[in-house]
Amino acid sequence: MTDSIKPKKMRKVTLLLDDGTSFNGYSFGAEHPIAGEVVFNTAMSGYPESLTDPSYAGQLMVLTYPLIGNYGVPPFKIEPNGIATYMESDKIYASGLIVSNYSEGYSHWSAVESLSDWLKRENITGITGIDTRALTKVLREHGVMMGKILFDDEPNNIPTAKYEGVNYVSQVSCKEVIRYNEGKDRKKILLVDCGVKNNIIRCLIERGAEVIRVPWDYDFNQIEFDGLFLANGPGDPNTCEKTVENIRKFMGAPEIKPCMGICMGNQLISKAAGANIYKLKYGHRSHNQPVRRVGTEQCFITSQNHGYAVDSSTLPKDWEELFVNMNDGSNEGVRHKHNPWFSAQFHPEDCGGPLDTEFLFDYYLNLINQTGK
């Protein structure tokens, strides 16, 4: 356990939303103004995983749970398989962090530093002392919006940012082909990296597959693989037209191979099929989103992080909904009626969050094994 550390003197800062609403607080972590899309996450734990999720690129993350930082930050360790043990990517991708009560003192068997020290090392601004529940109410009533964290003693230092229409996927995707768990007799999964979380790759290689990770705009149809996997990613899927074109080539190929998508992958496969995508008012970002498997009474508690959704009414006749959200009825997954193609809008790989739907990886690998016979 670390000593109970009294925080150093914090600078006064203001969170200013685009509609003019403002919240006063104090800075921790890095000390520079920042702007981004303000979104809220209702999870009670898992800030190391959330902050390193590339899907938060360009966003200021509001955590509604009131006490943040009390279990510190684990080390950045790389496993023999090339994947970080505790983090979901190589760095923090959220632009800023907004909390109610930051705890400088921390206690956890795996912690090696405070949240503030980690944010400072990664040059990420944090703000504490905010009434995050009042802020969340504003975002729920008016929808997510752009915001700025301003330092009160630097009134002329005003940051700018744009979220709508920006291709964040191109910023977070890998730049070259990366292979994991290579082996002569292993099933080869072609993973399109739109901002993939590490635990997605881990869930695939733990099931004996070789994973070939390619950039978002890579024409994967030119190489050999047994199954296609469309990963999660940040921002608007309508900016990923190159990915959609490659998926359409895959769908039109004479050889039918299995395909699974997660989060943005659900939107991209639906868009490639011909469906429309729209922006949710305030998105789904939490570890407790209930989804129902269509045609059954089965309900699963899921981890989610997305601001866009598939308009299921625009799905072509050969496609159907696989899951729906029990809170607002929005789409949570699709499947083809005849071919082995399906997707989930939620995150079955968890990290953080519940393990209820990790069986979808087993289902996907079974499809690959059956198709290959």
- Which residue bears the tokens 């869930």? 203
Residue 338: active-site member: no
What is the C-alpha to C-alpha distance for residues 50 and 350, in angstroms, rounded to an integer?
11
The catalytic position among 287, 336, 349, 351 is 349
The catalytic position among 263, 321, 336, 351 is 263
Distances (CA, A) of 1 to 74, 112, 116: 13, 10, 17
- Which residue bears the tokens 């802020």? 135
What is the C-alpha to C-alpha distance for residues 357 and 353, in angstroms, rounded to an integer?
11
Residue 347: active-site member: yes
Q: Determine if residue 234 is left, alpha or beta; phi over 0 gives left, psi from -120 to 50 gives alpha, anything else beta.
A: beta
The catalytic position among 284, 287, 306, 347 is 347
Q: Which amino acid is at 348?
A: P
Q: And the tokens for 148?
A: 């700025």
Residue 79: active-site member: no
Q: Determine if residue 353 is left, alpha or beta; phi over 0 gives left, psi from -120 to 50 gives alpha, anything else beta.
A: left
The residues near 155 (Cβ < 8 Å, ≥ 6 apart) are none
Return the closest-CA partner of residue 346 out of 328, 331, 361, 359. Answer: 331
Annotated catalytic sites, by residue?
263, 347, 349
